Amino acid sequence: MSLPEAFIEKMTRLLGQEEAQAFFASYEKPRAYGLRANLLKITPEQLQALVNFPLRRIAFCKTGFYFNPDDHPGRQAFHQAGLYYIQEPSAMAVAAFADAQPGEKVLDLCAAPGGKSTQLAAAMQNQGLLVANEIFPKRAKILSENIERMGIRNAIVTNETPEKLADYFPGYFDKILVDAPCSGEGMFRKDPEAASYWSPAHVNECAALQSQILDQAYRMLKTGGTLIYSTCTFSPEENERTIEAALERFPDLTVQALEKIGGIADARAKWSISQKKQLKHAARLWPHQLEGEGHFICKLLKTADSAEARLREAVSVKEAQLHDYRFFEKAALREPLSGCFQQYGNQLFLLPESCPDLKPLRVIRAGLHLGEFKKNRFEPNHALALALPISQFQSVLALNNQSCDRYLRGETLPVSADKKGWTIAALDGFPLGWGKATAGQLKNNYPKGLRRRGLVYPE
Ligand SMILES: C[S@@+](CC[C@H](N)C(=O)[O-])C[C@H]1O[C@@H](n2cnc3c(N)ncnc32)[C@H](O)[C@@H]1O
């Protein structure tokens, strides 16, 4: 592939002739494709046994697999059911290193389209609070759709600037991920167009933006909290030097050692100005050293005392307001849901536990979207179908490959005459969406925007 001349020169100077040769040779090799099992729905072993195409383990991510692109896992019904997320393999190392835990307060500050947020959420097992933020509205919508598909219940999707979030959440989060906008040098093989936007000036602009974002992230971190910084670029200006500059602005931050497994390498402290030894604890993923694209990952611990934001908790709507929802719930679900219910217009959401009041923020998704109040009735949202296990639904239509394809195209399906009301259409025990059964037919409620146009299953 053709790479910018100045990029070739710079990388050759940085790496030296011998390593540069191996590095540039990787651009002539095919790239690796990856997907990640969604632990909220399935284990990696179960997924491997379930799908009809081969999966090969990724050494540095326990839930990740390589797949053959000819198998098109993105077109499979199990993808629509949220059993896996298609993600560039090296990118999986970032959230794996973040090591989010159930019950924590976690922020993904630059989150769209959601690869790392969905991985953080899987590790959190729907316990605690995940704020997934994206500054651009269109990208925030895609992020929100991916959060929905993966069945995540404890995520708030926001569309804010880092500054606005930092004003609201000072000293609040246990973990913050800054997967920063960058010059994307590590993705030239995956996205050759990215190479055409590259210039040394762009590298410097990105570095300046990254420092601004890190300043806001630092403000939001608790004492003892950890900040994961990552990019998909090689330039020292956006990696070792960005971290080095952050260490100078915030002397209490320390770089935490990362376990260098599966071909992951130390960061290159010698590419910084100060050559601080601790910089090598950060990680670099190189396309000539492992099967994946280029990435940089650094984990920082904050030790300075910071006053924690005491935010007002959101207050649930009154039970009387839930009357139509409870009526639906009694007929359609096996166990009632509890927690903090919030109504926005006609839409009803169930917030994550101990969720702060969200009014001052631009919120795209407030936890689990339960559905919509219509005149004297409640209509469930697609998110609810994807967020609960099959055992929670009273009425289920088990699909086969053919009826599954018809369901995903939006067709009406035959059901036994005794089936009535809101019914989950499921494949192999995994919910795909709602339908409403009446008089031997299942009226299809699969969202119009997600419907398939041709026969694509099974491939
Ligand atoms: C590398 S991408 C994030 C990828 C994402 N974490 C994932 O795993 O799917 C960086 C994100 O930062 C966002 N971004 C761009 N400018 C920003 C800014 N000034 N502040 C915060 N985020 C910004 C971009 O829109 C983009 O979605």
Strands 105-108 and 173-179: parallel
Task: Round to whole Å and give the CA distance between 22 and 355.
Answer: 49
> What's the whole-number mean pLDDT along residues 316-321?
97
Distance 145 CA to ligand 1 centre (A): 16
324 annotated among ligand-binding-site residues:
no
Q: What CATH number does residue 399 fall under?
A: 2.30.130.60
d(CA 7, CA 4): 5
Which residue range forms the structural domain that includes residue 426? 389-459
Counting the structural domains of the chain, the total is 1
- Is position 232 annotated as part of the catalytic site? yes
Residues with CB under 6 A from ligand 1: 91, 110-116, 134-136, 139, 162, 179, 181, 209, 213
In a domain, 190, yes or no: no
* Most informative mutation of 108, 110, 191 for ligand 1 (most atoms within 8 A of CB): 110
Confirm whether 283 is domain-assigned: no
Kindly state whether residue 170 falls inside one of the protein's structural domains. no
| 126 conformational bin, left if phi > 0, alpha if psi -120 to 50, beta if neither | left
Q: Is the pLDDT of residue 148 over 50?
A: yes
Residue 306 confidence class, pLDDT cut points 50, 70, 90: confident
Please give the distance, rounded to the nearest whole angstrom, from the Cα atom of residue 259 to the centre of ligand 1.
Answer: 25
Q: Which pLDDT belongs to residue 421? A: 98
In a domain, 308, yes or no: no
**Pairing label, strands 363-366, 347-350:** unpaired
Share the mean pLDDT of the chain.
Answer: 96
- Which one from 232, 298, 340, 404 is the annotated catalytic residue? 232
Confirm or deny that 110 is annotated as ligand binding.
Answer: yes
Q: Could you give the ipTM of this predicted complex?
A: 0.99
Structure-token pair, residue 161: 């600037």
Asked whether residue 295 is assigned to any structural domain, the reply reads no
Average of per-residue pLDDT across 173-184: 98
Distance separating alpha carbons of residues 115 and 232, to the nearest angstrom: 13
Report the distance separating Cα 412 and Cα 280, nearest Å: 59
Dihedral sign for Cα atoms in the order 282, 113, 221, 242: positive
Burial of residue 16 (CB within 10 Å: 0-12, 13-18, 19+) is exposed
Cβ(282)–Cβ(80) under 8 Å?
A: no
294 assigned binding-site residue: no
Confidence at 459, pLDDT banded by 50, 70, 90:
very low
Answer whether residue 418 is part of any domain.
yes
- Average of pLDDT values for 27-54? 97
Average pLDDT estimate for 274-293: 97
β-pairing, 56-58 vs 430-438, is unpaired
Answer whether residue 401 is part of any domain: yes
- The 10s digit of each residue's pLDDT in 395-419 is 999 999 999 999 999 999 999 999 9
The answer, yes or no, to whether residue 455 has pLDDT greater than 60, is no
Establish if 442 belongs to a structural domain.
Answer: yes
Residue 2 pLDDT exceeds 90: no
